[in-house]
């Protein structure tokens, strides 16, 4: 219910709901600006916010997000590749930093850890959605993690699949760093 809610509280509620639905930040900002304009116009006309959003803000935000969401092109493979890249880059950089060495080893357990990270990040909702999971998903997640940890323990640190020098890790990190810099430059 929106009774007694201010414009800012309605906008915050909608922003939270849209973040929960993983809308891109750029779309989220546009939607917030558009909703703020509608709410301001309604207030100037002497009407209450329910005129715009109705009685159920969550239903309003969900319906608007569904209407606004563009069909995803290659969304799942792209997210899986991005999460695999991030996991591998973090694992290699962490191996160099923690071991304080210029050469780090890639073992089967490392490959499994990167695969686990990519799967969890790609196929589960992010932290803000976890509290809404049904019990069976929590049980499946805990069982899966336990199985993966047991597998990592049994596989151990041998055999060494690959030795990665520091310069190769830097080369692997370069596309991600350039993409981040370009993204920050576009925002300005």
The answer to whether the CB of 78 falls within 8 A of the CB of 141 is: no
pLDDT at 128: 43
The answer to whether the CB of 72 falls within 8 A of the CB of 30 is: no
DSSP-derived secondary structure for the chain: --TT--HHHHHHHHHHHHHHTT--HHHHHHHHHHHHHHHHHHHHTT--THHHH-S-HHHHHHHHHHHHPPPPSSHHHHHHHHHHHHHHHHHHHHHHHHHT-SEEEE-HHHHHHHHHHHHHHHHS--GGGGGG--HHHHHHHHHHHHHHHHHHHHHTT-S--EEEEHHHHHHHHHHHHHHHHHHHHHH-
Instruction: Say yes or no to pLDDT of 131 above 80.
Output: no
Question: Which of 1-10, 25-34, 149-158 holds the top average pLDDT?
Answer: 25-34
Every domain of the chain and the residues it spans: 7-68, 75-187
pTM equals: 0.56
Tens digits of residue pLDDT in 78-113? 888 888 898 899 888 888 888 888 998 888 878 888
What would the mean pLDDT of 21-50 be, rounded to a whole number?
A: 86
| CA–CA separation, 61 and 37 (whole Å) | 16
């Amino acid at each position: 219910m929106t009774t007694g809610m201010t414009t800012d509280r309605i906008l915050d509620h909608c922003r939270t709901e849209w973040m929960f639905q993983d809308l891109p930040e750029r779309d989220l900002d546009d939607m917030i600006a558009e909703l703020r304009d509608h709410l301001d116009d309604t207030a100037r006309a002497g009407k209450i916010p329910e005129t715009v959003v109705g009685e159920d803000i969550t239903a309003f935000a969900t319906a608007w997000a569904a209407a606004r969401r563009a069909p995803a092109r290659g969304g799942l493979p792209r997210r899986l590749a991005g999460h695999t890249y991030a996991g591998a880059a973090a694992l290699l950089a962490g191996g160099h930093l923690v071991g304080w060495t210029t050469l780090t080893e890639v073992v089967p357990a490392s490959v499994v850890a990167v695969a686990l990270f990519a799967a969890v990040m790609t196929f589960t909702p992010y932290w803000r959605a976890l509290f809404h999971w049904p019990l069976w998903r929590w049980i499946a997640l805990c069982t899966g993690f336990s199985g993966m940890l047991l597998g990592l323990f049994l596989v151990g640190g041998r055999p060494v699949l690959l030795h990665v020098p520091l310069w190769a890790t830097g080369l692997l990190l370069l596309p991600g760093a350039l993409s981040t810099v370009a993204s920050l430059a576009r925002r300005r």
